[in-house]
Amino acid sequence: MTGAGKISLALGGGAGLGWTHIGVLRAIDDSPLEIAAIAGTSIGAITGASYAVGKLDYLEDMARNVNFRNMLRFMDPHFKRGAVMGARNIEKELESEFGQTCFEDLPFPIAVVAADLHTGDTIVMKSGKLVPAIRASMSLPGLFKPVRHEGRLLVDGGAALPVPVSPVRELAPEALCLSVNLQDDFLNRSIAAGITPNSSKEPNSLAVVKASIGLSLRNLGRYSLALDPPDFAMSPPVGHIDIQNFTRAEELIDIGRRETEKVIPQILARLAERAA
């Protein structure tokens, strides 16, 4: 059976916070652990797929060099029905990175999670071409146009399953599962939004909206994990960084590595118990 003596990873969504996943994968690569399978939502899907095709170096280099100027090349404002941004430049970047690669070509199984905007179903993609699946998983509602794929209208997987534990368990049922939830650090997120208990000033409307969205994301992630608890759960302290900020890769990668290094001895101990 797939995954005996290995770990599987459930990489959650989180937009700009997703660079944390790079540090997670670097720490695992530097340890005795082996990856049996990966499931990813949104930025977790991009990072997991990049790792699986052997292009994590490329993704990390791009992440560390993101600034406002080179982010402009991915922007395709069009204000058409269903979205305020096109995705032609992002699609070109995905095609450049993944080409015609299919799930079946990868050295271990991965799954990419999206949400069906018509039915509300969680859609788990694990066969066929990678690019359409990743493009669907990262289609933030209202920002990017939904993707029509195999008869469904798909948006960002974070709307349905922000931390995809159950899909990765199906791929590697014997492996220990490690989840990475980027939405759990609500206290620091609310402070960063301007919501502080001792402030004499009333928060502005933008701060209220950002904190409320952060709370919803935190709770959705917790409910998701409560329904299918992983063997090990990580909630990196990244709430002080705006979820829309893609320019903090160096710090986020360091946090991901540091937090993973803390949990690796526990995973190895559990694996040793299994083997005894």
Tens-digit pLDDT profile for residues 161-219:
999 999 999 999 999 999 999 998 888 888 877 777 776 677 777 878 878 888 888 88
Is residue 2's pLDDT more than 50? Answer: no
Tokens of 76: 């395709």
Catalytic annotation, pick one of 8, 50, 139, 156:
156
Name which of 15-19, 28-32, 130-134, 202-206 the model is least confident about.
202-206
**Residue 156 bears catalytic tag:** yes
Q: How sure is the predictor about 73, in pLDDT bands with cuts at 50, 70 and 90?
A: low
Is residue 1's pLDDT more than 50? Answer: no
Tens-digit pLDDT profile for residues 136-163:
888 776 667 788 888 888 888 888 899 9
Tens-digit pLDDT profile for residues 84-129:
455 566 667 777 778 889 999 999 999 999 999 889 899 999 999 9
Burial status of residue 102 (CB atoms within 10 A of its CB: 0-12, 13-18, 19 or more) = middle
Taking CA atoms, 32 is separated from 6, 7, 171, 176, 260, in Å, by 10, 11, 21, 14, 13
Q: How far apart are CA 197 and CA 191, in angstroms?
A: 9
The mean pLDDT value for 253-264 works out to 97
Instruction: Please give the full DSSP string across the chain, using - where no structure is assigned.
Output: -TTTT-EEEEE---GGGGGHHHHHHHHHHTSS--EEEEEEETHHHHHHHHHHTT-HHHHHHHHHT--HHHHGGG--B---TTEEE--HHHHHHHHHHHTT-BGGGSSS-EEEEEEETTT--EEEE-SSBHHHHHHHHT--TEEE--EEETTEEEEEGGGT-SS-HHHHHHH-TTSEEEEE-SS--HHHHHHHHT--TT-SSPPPHHHHHHHHHHHHHHHHHHHHHHHS--SEEE--S-TTS-TT--S-HHHHHHHHHHHHHHHHHHHHHHHHHHH-
Phi and psi at residue 69, in whole multiples of 5°? Answer: -65, -50
**Residue 216 bears catalytic tag:** no
CATH class assigned to 7-185+230-275: alpha beta
CA atoms within 13 A on the CB side of 224: 30
pLDDT recorded at residue 195: 78
Residues 6 or more apart whose Cβ sits within 8 Å of residue 234: 24, 178, 179, 180, 181, 259, 260, 263
pTM of the model: 0.88
Mean pLDDT of the chain: 86
178 beta partners = 9, 232
